[in-house]
Amino acid sequence: MSTDQPQTIAPEALPEAITGFLKAHRVHDAATALSFLRPDATVTDEGKTHQGATAIEAWMTRSAGEYTYTIELIGAQKADADHYVTTHRVEGDFPGGVVDLHFRFSLGDGLIEDLRIEP
């Protein structure tokens, strides 16, 4: 990711690949979410990396069924043309009940090539 200070942007200013992925992810539509990722994309969540469509679809399906939760986009930042961070408030029946998560996106050829989800 760029070493420049990220700039706060309106969520509407996020690239289509990110907004499409987030919308599909929010409603647990793995097939649509995958269409916004490169075939060799990686997703890292809870310290585990999932690479490629099959592994990412399995991660999405598993994480969608583990807990009941709502997710709300509460902030967006742009580091450069290919690096964005979105902040989400997640509330549900998981331990702790509320957490703010940062989704760190790296784009390549207009699609998501890497996503890191971190507290």
In a domain, 48, yes or no: yes
* Global confidence as pTM: 0.92
The string of pLDDT tens digits covering residues 99-115 is 999 999 999 999 999 99
Structure tokens at 44: 């890292």
CATH number where 32 lies = 3.10.450.50
Tens digits of per-residue pLDDT, 54-73?
999 999 988 878 888 899 99
For the range 91-99, what are the long-range contacts, defined as Cβ-Cβ under 8 Å and sequence gap of 24 or more?
92/67, 92/68, 93/67, 93/68, 93/69, 94/66, 94/67, 94/69
Q: Is residue 1 part of a domain?
A: no
Q: Say if residue 7's pLDDT is above 50.
A: yes
Question: What is the pLDDT, as a whole number, of residue 5?
Answer: 84
Q: Residue 14's domain spans which residues?
A: 7-118
Which amino acid is located at 11 in the chain? Answer: P
Q: Are 54 and 39 spatial neighbours (Cβ–Cβ below 8 Å)?
A: no
Predicted confidence at residue 63, as pLDDT, reads: 81
pLDDT band of residue 44 (cuts 50, 70, 90) is very high
